[in-house]
Chain A
Amino acid sequence: MSELISLLMPSLFETLYMVLVSMIFTILLGLPLGITLVVTDKNHILPNSVLNIVLSYIINITRSLPFIILMLAIIPFTRLVVGTTIGTTAAIVPLVVAATPFFARIVETSLKEVDYGVIEASIAMGASPFQIIAKVLLPEAMPSLVLGITITLISILGYSAMAGVVGGGGLGDLAVRYGYHRFQTDVMVATVVVLIIIVQITQSIGNKLSKILSKK
């Protein structure tokens, strides 16, 4: 048992590191992207159809690529960013590239749920577009955004198992190495159980937080 734990622990930390760092960069990139998608719509506060259409296309194309292909395709880019193409840190690059457009769409959906009447009221009060984004759109969409972050986090966890197989480390890698190649079913099962627990915890924290934030 303790052997199993000492086997699992490093992989668990690798996974958590990969997922959390990826999530941070995904939010940093995906949130502005999602906001831009919404506000540049022709019926929104900063209409710009060219930017809107171009962004939308890029996002759709990135999202069409299967993660495994995307990961291989951007190897030169990964090397450029982190200096290497193997290891946990290197896995973060394709994870962020894959999760950002996904998260941007989720942000878009959340922000579109904000009643446009409230935005109009803010315009009538003399709010600037930046004030509307920061003080109206984001706070009003926050409960929904938190759920979106939860979903994205769980998706990144799923991708991270795949990234692990090609040298990223983490729980996915462990499961494949021990469970699949060495037929140690107990390691495989233990890994899956840990993954299930992470997903459960993430989802319930997300749900709770969203509920606390929601004043509707």
Chain B
Amino acid sequence: MINIINLSKTYQKENNTVEALKNINMKINKGSIHGIIGFSGAGKSSLIRCINRLEEPTNGEIWIDGINLMELNRDQLRKMRKRIGMIFQSFNLLSSKTVFDNIAFPLRLSKVPESTVKEKVHSLLELVGLKDKEKAYPSMLSGGQKQRVGIARALANDPDVLLCDEATSALDPKTTKQILHLLKDINNSLGITIVVVTHEMEVIKEICDYVTILEDGEIIEEGSTTRIFSDPRNETTMHFVGSNHELPKEFKKGKVLYLSFIGDSAGKPIISKLIKEFDIEVNILSGNIEYIGGKPIGKLTVEVDTDCSKIPEVISYLENNNVKVEVIK
């Protein structure tokens, strides 16, 4: 669907240059929700804004549905952009226009007949749950409602792709969830490919199928959300998934293991078998279950009180039972 090849972006300001993106290669599958996460300044916004050339790439190719955006002229690019919806952290609604007129705006740009505009806007208002707000002005809406208008407006041209740059970062946690669910519903019902930029792992966990982790303009890890959460490999990724478990010193007497139970291993009494089979003491330090993309992942931090010789056996026993093991100490 979206194929980014050797993309780089360098900002030139007076005499200092910032390499915001360095040779990025990534594929975004049709119909998926793809997250891009990273710290502030990692280049997330630059990356998503290069997808519709809101930011002009310094180098590289952006392919969407077999079209290389870099080869389009101005007119062709404008046409192409109508197939790419975008929503923003600060909503960017027209303050002088009502909710109806805001949503109608992209349609009127394309000179769609007024009767069609009316029909389309009403169905979009229904979709985002703002039927009673059509005559309101943006200043009269809450943040969540504004973003719903933003989403409706972005969907007006029936785009194939929806780009979201920190679309929920200005919203409270509850509203964030509602907006994320709306995006998920839209993805399910309309089959639109959604690209989500965020600095919050919660957002990724809630709706993304795939995730790309950016750091200093480079991709440091990518994979399915389930994989990234259960088996993060890069240190920054671990930071984001919250598995750079810093335990208080007093806990670290024996061997501390960090276990991730994926899929059916979450349902088996693996720990109690472990204790019986190896005749060791297992002290549970912390544990929780997270749902990532609807699938449960159990996480357990345990302290094993045994001599070192048994540890490799313990680990291979666990791994044979589909438990990912990380030795912390």
Contact = CB atoms under 8 A, between A and B. Distances in A.
Contacts of B88: 117, 120-121
Interface in B41-72: 52, 54
A197 interface: no
Interface residues of B, number: 28
- Best-surrounded residue of B80, B81, B92, B106 (most CB of chain A within 10 A): B92
Interface of A: 115, 117-118, 120-128, 131, 135-136, 139-140, 142, 213, 215-216
Contacts of B78: 126-128
B109 A135 contact: yes
A135 to B, nearest CB: 7
B95 interface: yes
A125 B92 contact: no
Please name the 8 residue pairs, one residue from A and one from B, whose CB atoms are nearest each other, closest first. Answer: A121-B92, A126-B81, A215-B137, A117-B92, A124-B86, A126-B82, A126-B78, A125-B106
Interface string B105-140: 110111000000000000000000000000001110
Interface in B73-105: 78-82, 84, 86, 88, 90, 92-97, 105
B95 A131 contact: no
A132 to B, nearest CB: 10
A120 B95 contact: no
Given A215-B95, A216-B139, A126 B90 contact: no
B105 to A, nearest CB: 7
B94 A136 contact: yes
A118 B93 contact: yes
A76 B189 CA distance: 71
Given A121-B86, A125-B109, A126-B81, A140 B54 contact: no
Contacts of A124: 52, 54, 81, 84, 86, 163
B109 A140 contact: no
Interface string B147-186: 0000001000100000100000000000000000000000
Nearest to B110: A126
A140 B88 CA distance: 18
Nearest to A125: B106
A215 to B, nearest CB: 4
B231 to A, nearest CB: 36
A174 B209 CA distance: 80
